Structures are given as C-alpha cells and as structure tokens.
Structure 1
Amino acid sequence: MSDNQYLHPAPDQYAVRDAGDAWVEGPDGTKYWGRFGAAGLLAHDTDRGVLLQHRVEWSHHGGTWGVPGGARRTGETAQQAALREAGEEAGVPADAVQIFDEQVLDLGFWSYVTVIARVLHPFEAVRTDAESLELAWVPLTHVERLDLHPGFASAWPELHRRLLAAEA
C-alpha cells in the first residue's frame, strides 16, 4: 500500500465541507471514507449495461472501476447520497433512474450502501468532477473483466444476480 492511498484532494478554498467528509478507522486500522458511511449508485440500463466509474489514481484504490459514490452527508439517507454523488461525479439526472433495491455492507462502525436503480430514459454520463478518469456503460457480462475496486468486486456477484432477477 502506498503512503498516499488515503489522501483526498485539498478542498476548493471556497467549498464548504460536510462533517461526513472524513476517514473512519476500523479496529484493524483499515480506513474507510465517510464519517456517516458511504453510498454509491449502480445504474442499470438493459440496453447498455451498468454505469461504472474508472477512479482517479489519487483516490482510495485509484485506477480501479466501481460505481459513482462517496461519503454520506450529515442527515443524508443512503439513497439521497447515492443520487447526489452520481449527479456530482457522472452527471446522472435523478429523474432518469428509479431505485428498486439496495445492498448493504455493514461493518458495525461503518457502512456502504449500493443503491440499485433502473434507467428510465437513456442519458449520457459525463465527468463532472476530478474523481473520474472515465465513465462507461459496461455490459453485465463484461464487468468482471475490469480491474474492480475491491469492495465492488466483492459485492458484484450478488449485485449481478439481483440485476438479472430484475430483468426477468
């Protein structure tokens, strides 16, 4: 592990940071981003696949693929956080998706919620901040071919099963 793996970019001098924008350290010393947990949006378009984000190198597990997401803000639900983060990082219009499920990883001291949504009308994802190298619609059968964020890689088999069940 590199010394900079836990670095987060310096905030814009005019940006107001939320109390949720902080690291949480687990009992074994592992660090997790988001004082109130974190959430991400797995947007599924039956014609194009799922929207994935290629994470910038300076981010936690940089260079890997996962879903747009991040720290939950004070008082924010996982669904609100996932939609906000997807809008901030990938230009996902909240009215273009319909949430139908979620998968929770709860470590007791920290949690990550993958919010699963179907795309109601197609949209083009756009890099709207510096946290993405690229964004791509990836067919379900191609997701495992990518270098996935370790947390997303662990969650993918169950997420994939849920997406297939929703298509049936």
Structure 2
Amino acid sequence: MDTASASLPEHLRRHSGPRDPGDAWVEGAAGKFWGRFGSAGLLVQDPAKGILLQHRATWSHHGGTWGLPGGALHQGEDAITGALREAHEEAAVPPGNVHVLFTSVFDVGYWSYTTVAVRVLESFEPAINDPESIELTWVPADSVEERELHPAFATAWPELWRRLSQHRH
C-alpha cells in the first residue's frame, strides 16, 4: 500500500484485496473501457441544489475531472441497480431517496455505459465513502459545463440536461 493510502482511514483506502470480476478493462475497435460487464453512473438532480458532481481521484481514468458517481457493473447486475449501488458506495446517495426518471445508454457493441437520471425525493448531503472522490458537490445545472468535465460526460451532458429538463414537475 502506498504512503498516501496508508494515511487514510480504512474505509477510504484504495481497495487492495480481491476485486469483483466486473472490475476490469475491456478493449475493442472503439477503444478501452472500464467494466467487464459495462458501467453505469447516477445523474442526481436535487431541484433545490442542482446536480451532484464527483471530482474524480487523480489516480482514476481521466482523474481530476468532474463526473458522476458510478462504475463497473457486477456480473448479472442491471444498470439501475449498479448505478444506485455505485453512487451509494462512492457518495452516500441513499437509494431509497431518489426517483428514477430515465436511462441513457452509450453502447459500442462490446461495452456500454448507462447514465441513470434520478430526482432526489428528500434533500441529503453526499459524503465521500471511498478513495474515488476528491470532492462531491451540488452544482447548479447551468454551471455544470464550467467545470473540467470527464470527456465522455462533457459530450453527453447537453442531451442529458435536455432530457432532464423535460422531467420538471
């Protein structure tokens, strides 16, 4: 274990034991992607606070950029369950406190990423629960693009925001 990880509390250290079989890279004609069984992320909107963004750990793929809490799916896990699990693990998003609005799938044939858009039912404060985040914060939707976004999220954001805007109550 490196010195930086050793100084963190146990629950925030980078996992060094056996990994889930889904925690692996896949490669093909369209590139290299994380998650043997695909990946999913949670787009969390709190009408009073904005969009929950995760400042990604510098050691992660496109580290130091802003994106959504999420990650590799487990074998046999559907994208909604996986996105809720990952957001709870990484940001303490309470799965029973959000309402699923829609999903959006980016699929290259041998790998896919599903964005699961949810609306918060009762406000909560996110908390860093593992070493994959530098920071978690609520950002007004019209300010999301001002951050240095993960490249794939930056590409997807305009359409995700358009769809999210259609679900206002």
User: How does the TM-score come out when normalised to structure 1?
Assistant: 0.90
Show the counterpart of 1:22: 24
Q: Given that residues 42 and 70 in structure 2 are in contact (C-alpha distance below 8 angstroms), is that contact kept between their aligned partners in structure 1?
A: yes
Aligned counterpart, 2:103: 102
Task: Check the 8 A contact 2:14/2:130 in 1, yes or no.
Answer: no
| Cα shift readout 1:93-126 (whole Å, capped 9, x = no counterpart) | 1111011101100110100000000000001000
Matched residues in 2 for 1:43 and 1:10: separation?
A: 24
Letter in structure 1 aligned against 2:16: D
By how many angstroms is 1:162 displaced? 1.0
Please tell me the residue identity of whatever aligns with 2:75.
Answer: T
Q: For 2:49 and 2:28, locate their aligned partners in 1 and report how far apart those are by CA, in whole Å.
A: 37
- Matching residue's letter, 1:26: G
Aligned mates of 1:10, 1:27 — CA distance in 2:
30
CA distance in 2, matches of 1:134, 1:11: 19
Distance 1:103 1:153 in 2: 14
Structure 1 residue 12 displacement after superposition: 2.6
Q: CA RMSD in A?
A: 1.3
Measure, in 2, the Cα distance between the counterparts of 1:43 and 1:11: 25
- AA aligned opposite 2:65: T
Q: Is the 8 A contact 2:14 2:131 kept in 1?
A: no
Q: CA deviation at 1:26?
A: 2.0
With over 3 angstroms needed to count, the CA separation of the structure-2 counterparts of 1:10 and 1:68, relative to structure 1, is closer
Aligned length: 157
Residue identity (%): 57
TM-score by length of 2: 0.89
Gaps of 5+ in 1: 1-8
Segments ≥4 residues shifted beyond 3 Å: none
